[in-house]
Amino acid sequence: MPERRKIALLIEWSRAYGRGVLAGIAHYVKAHESWKIYQTERRLCDGAPGWLKNWQGDGIIARIENRELLGAIRKLGVPVVDLFEHRSTEGIPGVITDNRAIAHLAADHLIERGLKHFAYCGLPGIYSSEARGECFVDYLNRLGYEVSVYDNPRQPGTSFISASEDHELRCEETVATWVSSLPKPVGLMACNDLRAHQVLMACSDRNIAVPEELAVIGVDNDELICELCHPPLSSIEQNSEGVGYQAASLLDRLLDGEAPPADPILVEPLAVVPRQSTDIVAVGDADVAAAVYFIRSRACDGIQVSDVVQHVHVSRSTLERRFSRLLGRSPKAEILRVRLDRVKHLLSMTDYPLVKIARLAGFEYMESMCECFKRVTGQTPGEYRSGSRADD
């Protein structure tokens, strides 16, 4: 039996994203049984562990968050896969989440709530935050919307993220003043769940109603943070397990002699996980708002447009005309959209057979679900499931 490769994992345990990455790596290791793992409990901002200097290993997967860790890793001269986005780590192959796809998911989620004003609250000077903000603004600008962006000068430091994050998360008053100045109602994307939590605290301090005046969505879907927010925070589920699995696969290929990729490997996020912080229909029409709430709560029960009409007590033609004018789609299209979102979630997060998924998403027949899914997404359910999973 060949000797197992000695691999160091320098990834934080303190955040949901890091724990998800480690779970993806564990999945790869279990499937291939070719690695001996070296790791210690870490926070995101930690430098190089003491044992790394004299470590005699084969490869490293790391979230290279500061210059100390970067320097220590470079000195070892072994293949490395970096999972952290920063220009200072250029030259090291990486696997990262697709920030453009994250921004588009957030924007679409807020647009679907009927909002016309938008804002972005990031952490200035942090690459992933700035990339998400730029993509969010660009996407909405191309759709004809303006976006307000929080801007506060970055704090200097040797850390790529901690100095800015620690400083910004102490700037409650600055954030609260900016949030108060935004046109209402407004849909706001925060760069991560911690930042979104700060925005929600600012709203509470300034008596800004969430989600009625300001709807907030974060990134990471850290369930502890999201559920402890008031109200509970909607967030984007990054495919951190997929990042970990792909990073492990890439490191194995590098150790086999494959040339490193010129650009980072991008892993698409899984889905929006909606909670109360974006539970709004900002359309200025009580009947349409009632119809949307009914559809979003009952679409997967197999309702039809006739059920929606009966619920809101207006004629079908009137509802369809007003619905289309305000939301740009018909009640039937909204029912299908909600059902397909449910299908995507179940494909990504469960191993349920397609027959069960169709039933849980409100489709009478599996075949009609598959046909609609392929028409809307361009993929079969099986193709979507394979692409969203942390597999080889």
Angle at 218 between CA 214 and CA 222, to 5 degrees: 135
Is the same domain home to 261 and 300? no
Same-domain status, 338 and 323? yes
Q: Which CATH number does the domain housing residue 315 bear?
A: 1.10.10.60
What pLDDT does 184 receive?
93
pLDDT computed for residue 158 by the predictor:
46
Q: Examine the pLDDT at 392 and tell me if it is beyond 50.
A: no
Any domain includes 116 = yes
Task: Tell me the per-residue pLDDT of 359-390, one tens digit each, with 9 for 90 and over.
Answer: 999 999 999 999 999 999 999 999 988 877 65
How many C-beta neighbours within 10 Å does residue 181 have?
9
| Residue 153 confidence class, pLDDT cut points 50, 70, 90 | low
Task: Specify the residue for token string 């008031």.
Answer: 230
Residue 259 domain-assigned (yes or no)? yes
- The parent domain of residue 76 ranges over 5-96+240-269
Contact 100, 135 (CB under 8 A): yes
When the pLDDT of each residue in the chain is averaged and rounded to a whole number, the result is 89
Q: Is there a domain that residue 299 lies in?
A: yes
Helices (H), 35-116: 67-76, 99-111
- Looking at the structure, do residues 120 and 21 belong to the same domain, yes or no? no
How far is it, in rounded angstroms, from Cα 136 to Cα 190? 10
Q: How confident is the model at residue 155 (pLDDT cuts 50, 70, 90)?
A: low
DSSP 141-209: HHTT--EEE---PPPP-SBSSHHHHHHHTT-HHHHHHHHHHS-SSEEEEESSHHHHHHHHHHHHHTT--
Same domain for 252 and 312, yes or no, is no
Does residue 305 sit in the same domain as residue 368?
yes
> 275 near 232, Cβ under 8 Å?
yes
Within a domain: 205: yes
Residues 228 and 258 in one domain: no
Alpha carbon 361 to its chain's center: 22
Judged by average pLDDT, the poorest of 40-49, 133-142, 250-259, 302-311 is 40-49
pLDDT digits (tens, 9 = 90+) for 184-214: 999 999 999 999 999 999 999 999 999 989 9
Whether residue 55 is found in the same domain as residue 123: no
pLDDT of residue 257: 94
Q: At residue 342, does pLDDT exceed 80?
A: yes
Based on the domain organization, do 311 and 361 belong to the same domain? yes
Q: What's 140's domain CATH number? A: 3.40.50.2300
Residues 163 and 85 grouped into a single domain:
no
3 pLDDT tier (thresholds 50, 70, 90): confident
Q: Looking at the domain assignment, is residue 392 inside a domain?
A: no
Whether 26 shows a pLDDT value over 70: the answer reads yes
Number of domains forming the structure of the chain: 3
